[in-house]
Structure 1
Amino acid sequence: MTVCDPSPKTALAIRVVLRIWLLSLLVWGLCGCSHLGYYWQSVSGHVQLMRAARPIPDWLADPATPPLLKTRLASAQTLRDYAVRELSLPDNASYRRYADLHRGAAVWNVTAAPPDALTLHTWCFPITGCIGYRGYFDLADARAEAARLRQQGLETHVYGVPAYSTLGWLNWAGGDPLLNTFIHYPEGELARLIFHELAHQVVYLDGDTSFNESFATAVELIGVRQWLAQAASPQARQEYARSDAQRLGFRDLTRATRTRLEAVYARARQDDGARSELAQQKAQVMTDFRQRYAQLREHWQIDAKRQAGYDQWVANANNAAFGALAAYDALVPAFESLYEQQQVQEPAQAWPRFYEAVRQLARLPEAERQRRLQALAPVSSPGPETPIHPAGD
């Protein structure tokens, strides 16, 4: 594969980004050396990603680009155009370039939770607010952070993430690129990811992971259903139907397990006798979960890499892992209901009206926002789980 130096425009953008972030680092460094080190790895990791990215036309014109990659890049651009034209998602620089990172994940996230709750430990950042995960560009750094948290008595989960969003802040510098970590996904799964990440550029509420991820997940699900009906090939529809059936089965299993764990923890908080039995009851719930998963996977027909990712997740599942899943699906039914309201009222403008309604929710005080979301759809209603990827602690 031919590797080219960044264009003068891209190189200038990288230098400007680096200078801005270096200035930010000096300010954030007042918080302490450990924070400064974390922000530096974030800056340097993203700059390396930007340097690796080239415009899609360059890859398509390069004779060294493998034919299969050219096909996937062309497909991704078709999906990107569909997102703008049919879903009213932003028309900007994001996902118009491609980078091969020569690794299996864009970043590795760390989540943590106490042994007796599914509530995620949070980290607070200057731009995104407080969120329930911390991302690292190096797996060893993520594992070191997880080890530090375990010393504090927390359960931890480390998982690879194929893509992340810069929330549109860096579109002027080239935006978020397509990556080797997901470009070879089946077409329907690729559509889901692109729609999801672009949704973060439409609405993002500082400090509310569940709101942000549930909204983006709702956009991805509604959007991919629309794409399947309007633009997908018969093969893509068949592939998606198979993967979706597997995903829904796993979703139902993990949701049922979360409900059982939450019940065990609630009893322990209310009853000292139940607390003494917490470890035993928790272990039984996890044993049942793994047994039911073994039965479920016997009926799956998915590729070996995806299967390995699920197997690894189940083997390492704990409160931190289940807590991370909850962030992606807890409010999805409410957002789907909100979209349906706009679809009924004005079908041709359903997407813009939906986004504006979500923005209005984001402006509300937290208590009022939660009340309105719960009124739209029960929080316990089914929703999709976040994708499981082959990476872990």
Structure 2
Amino acid sequence: MRLGAAAGRNKQTGTQVRSGRRRLGLAVAVALGGVGCASLDMEYYWQSASGHMAMLNAARSVPEWSRADEAAPRLRQRLELSQRIRRFASDELGLPDNASYTRYADLGRPAAVWNVVAAPELSLKLKTWCFPVVGCVGYRGYFDEAAARAEAARQRANGLEASVYPVPAYSTLGWMNWAGGDPLLNTFINYPEGELARLIFHELAHQVVYLKGDTTFNESFATAVERLGVARYLVHAQTETASQDYAHFLERRRVFRALVRATREQLKAIYDGDLSPQEQRVRKDDVMRVFRAEYARMRAGWPGDPARFRTTDRWVAEANNASFGAQAAYDELVPGFEALFDREGQDWRRFYQAVRGLGQLTKSERHAFLKDLGSTWTPSLQ
């Protein structure tokens, strides 16, 4: 949606339009990463803002799509399903009830954005891009894949390992609800029912709690909400096929993440040890070779259309320190959050209050608290 057009239709005052523009710039910056603290990267800023505005402009309400002649029956069915999931998110999980995920856009591409991550050759510590208001994040997002790969090439030229991966959706933390909210997209609308619910719950969770400069906390929290939320949703939906499909998905993800976690721990031990750089490189190559061989063995047992696993196949083929460093953010603190949910009587309101309370601690204190809580907890979800 063009800001000028939006202003005309909504009859905003000049002050409101300027406020909307500031919110747009900040929201997209938060979601995509990449504005330096010392100076603004205006070229990057404008690709972010224009890319997001193009997405807003392409979005129409679900009722509009349902009435549209060009909407195929399957799309109508998926949009109707998305709204049932959306209502469940607010009614049963206490997630925000707002404009997000009530509109749909077909972007004509396979990803919403492509993220770039980078790390040193012998370290899992991600390079960060920082914002004056929201802190630092370990990724930089692009609406154009070629631009993302060009950025990765620049990071490699600076001596870092870099990786590019597609992202089906991102959150603007609720700051764009004044403009229609984060839309449903063609990049994920055809996910199996459980996986569609998982994504919507995850992205809405970012609107509940987001802590400045703590990607691991934020992503682990959203991952815990998706896991706990989908378990409840599938009981509510009483759809046997969806439950079976999601159980298979969870098992694939469990064994894959266990392999990734074990590999990451092996790499960390190599980098933290007393080996020479040359010895570290040799050991690293051995670990990566075993990782890819183990994945190939695992992958051979996965049923279904091979195209469904293409993104994971590519991730493994291109995996490096940056890839492993980025993945850690999504699972490191999840057991602690799930334990906290149990401690709060599995009451969503109390759980969210407790999570917000952790924001009063320092980063190291809240991470230590969650790791300790999770270490003595018996998981209810496998």
Q: Structure 1-normalised TM-score?
A: 0.87
Unaligned ranges ≥5, structure 2: 29-34
**In structure 2, C-alpha distance between the alignment counterparts of 1:8 and 1:192, rounded to whole Å:** 36
**In structure 2, C-alpha distance between the alignment counterparts of 1:139 and 1:59, rounded to whole Å:** 28
Whether the 8 Å CA contact 2:23–2:175 is kept in 1: the answer is no
2:244 to 238, 241, 244: 238
Letter in 2 for 1:174: G
Flag the 1:29–1:370 CA change in 2: closer, same or farther, 3 A: closer
1:29 deviation in Å?
Answer: 9.7
1:353 to 350, 355, 371: 350
Fraction of identical pairs, as percent = 54
When structure 1 is superposed on structure 2, of 300-309 and 49-58 the one drifting more is: 300-309
1:307 deviation in Å?
Answer: 1.7
**In structure 2, C-alpha distance between the alignment counterparts of 1:370 and 1:342, rounded to whole Å:** 18
2:289 to 287, 290, 295: 287
Q: CA RMSD, aligned part only?
A: 2.7
Unaligned ranges ≥5, structure 1: 385-393
1:177 to 174, 183, 196: 183
Whether the 8 Å CA contact 2:136–2:212 is kept in 1: the answer is yes
Letter in 1 for 2:308: R
1:297 to 296, 299, 302: 299
The answer to whether structure 1 residue 334 and structure 2 residue 336 are counterparts is yes
What's the counterpart of residue 257 of structure 1?
263
Alignment of 1:158-173 (within 5 A): 158-173=164-179
Aligned residues between the structures: 368
1:96 to 95, 102, 117: 102
Letter in 1 for 2:326: A
Instruction: Report the 3-state secondary structure (helix = DSSP H, G, I; strand = E; otherwise coil) of the residue aligned with 1:110.
Output: strand
**In structure 2, C-alpha distance between the alignment counterparts of 1:233 and 1:381, rounded to whole Å:** 27
Whether the 8 Å CA contact 2:333–2:367 is kept in 1: the answer is no
Flag the 1:30–1:158 CA change in 2: closer, same or farther, 3 A: closer
Whether the 8 Å CA contact 1:18–1:43 is kept in 2: the answer is no
Alignment of 1:1-393 (within 5 A): 9=9, 19-20=21-22, 31-32=38-39, 35-267=41-273, 271=274, 273-343=275-345, 347=346, 350-378=347-375
When structure 1 is superposed on structure 2, of 237-246 and 205-214 the one drifting more is: 237-246
Instruction: Report the 3-state secondary structure (helix = DSSP H, G, I; strand = E; otherwise coil) of the residue aligned with 1:185.
Output: coil
1:226 deviation in Å?
Answer: 1.0
1:305 deviation in Å?
Answer: 2.4
Letter in 2 for 1:307: F
**In structure 2, C-alpha distance between the alignment counterparts of 1:256 and 1:382, rounded to whole Å:** 19
When structure 1 is superposed on structure 2, of 181-190 and 368-377 the one drifting more is: 368-377
**In structure 2, C-alpha distance between the alignment counterparts of 1:383 and 1:130, rounded to whole Å:** 33
**In structure 2, C-alpha distance between the alignment counterparts of 1:381 and 1:326, rounded to whole Å:** 21
Instruction: Report the 3-state secondary structure (helix = DSSP H, G, I; strand = E; otherwise coil) of the residue aligned with 1:182.
Output: coil
**In structure 2, C-alpha distance between the alignment counterparts of 1:380 and 1:126, rounded to whole Å:** 37
Whether the 8 Å CA contact 1:6–1:54 is kept in 2: the answer is no
Whether the 8 Å CA contact 1:330–1:379 is kept in 2: the answer is no
Instruction: Report the 3-state secondary structure (helix = DSSP H, G, I; strand = E; otherwise coil) of the residue aligned with 1:159.
Output: strand
Flag the 1:223–1:21 CA change in 2: closer, same or farther, 3 A: closer
1:86 deviation in Å?
Answer: 0.7
Whether the 8 Å CA contact 1:251–1:383 is kept in 2: the answer is no
Once the two structures are superposed, what CA deviation does each residue of 1:121-168 show, in whole Å capped at 9, x if it has no partner?
100024432001011111111111111111111100101100000000
Whether the 8 Å CA contact 1:258–1:322 is kept in 2: the answer is yes
What's the counterpart of residue 390 of structure 1?
none
